[in-house]
């Protein structure tokens, strides 16, 4: 009788191991792959927000973590992130930005800037901070929030306006302002898939 019970338990254990392995190796990777692509395809510039709805510090930390996980040339991480929650500052930025009027309805904004005093820094700071920006935009989307990239550097007038408003030191170059809030649902993702832009091996 005990032999019979041991055999049954062994078979049950084997089935459990097979089930877990199948999930780990086949099903879970598939789900993960799809959710990343779905998030990327759902991201859109969101310029219409539900006014007055607060984004929590926990959500903000997740957004910043995503940003700082970006790749950078020689891993120099030559970035600085300025979180703006103050209503007056958001309104001032909205007022002074011809292309950033949506800031007046935003819950917060993050300025992604290059720190030109970073040891070994090169022109790659622009790509590095762009990677930070895209990571932030994607995390914002995954949290059910919405954001838009408002251009700063290399437009001197726009970068100077941000520098003056936020009292940034000379070595801090603002790439953009990311306006963030709760989407009203008006902004929709665009389908940009275009196989004609793909080239294999040679042009």
In angstroms, what is the minimal distance from the CB of 45 to ligand FMN?
Answer: 3
CB 176 within 8 A of CB 149: yes
Longest dimension (CA), the chain: 86
Contacts of 13 (CB under 8 A, 6+ apart): none
Q: Does 185 help bind ligand FMN (rule: CB under 6 A)?
A: no
CA distances from 147 to 31, 52, 121 (A): 25, 15, 28
Please identify, using beta-carbon distances, which residue of 134 and 202 lies nearer to ligand FMN.
Answer: 134
Q: How far apart are CA 95 and CA 103, in angstroms?
A: 9
Applying CB under 6 A, among 76, 149, 166, 184 the residue interacting with ligand FMN is: 149
Q: Which stretch binds ligand FMN (CB under 6 A): 15-23, 78-86, 149-157, 193-201?
A: 149-157
Q: Does 96 help bind ligand FMN (rule: CB under 6 A)?
A: no
Applying CB under 6 A, among 40, 41, 44, 68 the residue interacting with ligand FMN is: 44
Half-sphere CA count of 169, side-chain side, radius 13 A:
7
User: Which burial class, exposed, middle or buried, applies to 15 when counting CB atoms under 10 A from its CB (0-12, 13-18, 19+)?
Assistant: exposed
Q: Does 45 help bind ligand FMN (rule: CB under 6 A)?
A: yes
Q: Which of residues 54-83 bind ligand FMN (CB under 6 A)?
A: none
Q: Which stretch binds ligand FMN (CB under 6 A): 17-25, 39-47, 65-73, 159-167?
A: 39-47
For ligand FMN (CB under 6 A), the number of binding residues is 10
CB 51 within 8 A of CB 146: no
Applying CB under 6 A, among 99, 116, 117, 171 the residue interacting with ligand FMN is: 99
Q: Does 151 help bind ligand FMN (rule: CB under 6 A)?
A: yes
Q: Are strands 79-84 and 108-115 parallel, antiparallel or unpaired?
A: antiparallel
Q: Does 190 help bind ligand FMN (rule: CB under 6 A)?
A: yes
CB 113 within 8 A of CB 174: yes
Please identify, using beta-carbon distances, which residue of 3 and 190 lies nearer to ligand FMN.
Answer: 190
Residues that bind ligand FMN (CB under 6 A): 44-45, 47, 99-100, 148-151, 190
């Amino acid at each position: 009788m005990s032999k019979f019970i041991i055999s049954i338990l062994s078979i049950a254990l084997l089935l459990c191991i097979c089930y877990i392995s199948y999930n780990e190796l086949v099903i879970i990777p598939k789900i993960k792959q799809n959710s990343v692509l779905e998030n990327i395809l759902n991201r859109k510039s969101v310029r219409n927000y539900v006014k007055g709805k607060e984004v929590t510090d926990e959500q903000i930390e997740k957004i910043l973590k995503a940003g700082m996980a970006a790749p950078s040339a020689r891993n120099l991480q030559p970035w600085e992130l300025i979180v703006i929650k103050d209503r007056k500052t958001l309104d001032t930025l909205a007022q002074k930005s011809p292309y950033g009027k949506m800031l007046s309805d935003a819950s917060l904004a993050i300025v992604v800037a290059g720190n030109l005093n970073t040891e070994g820094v090169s022109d790659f700071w622009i790509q590095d901070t762009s990677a930070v920006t895209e990571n932030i935009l994607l995390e914002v989307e995954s949290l059910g929030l919405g954001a838009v990239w408002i251009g700063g550097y290399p437009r001197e007038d726009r970068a100077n306006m941000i520098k003056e408003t936020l009292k940034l030191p000379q070595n801090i170059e603002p790439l953009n302002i990311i306006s963030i809030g709760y989407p009203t649902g008006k902004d929709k993702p665009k389908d940009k898939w275009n196989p004609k832009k793909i080239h294999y091996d040679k042009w």
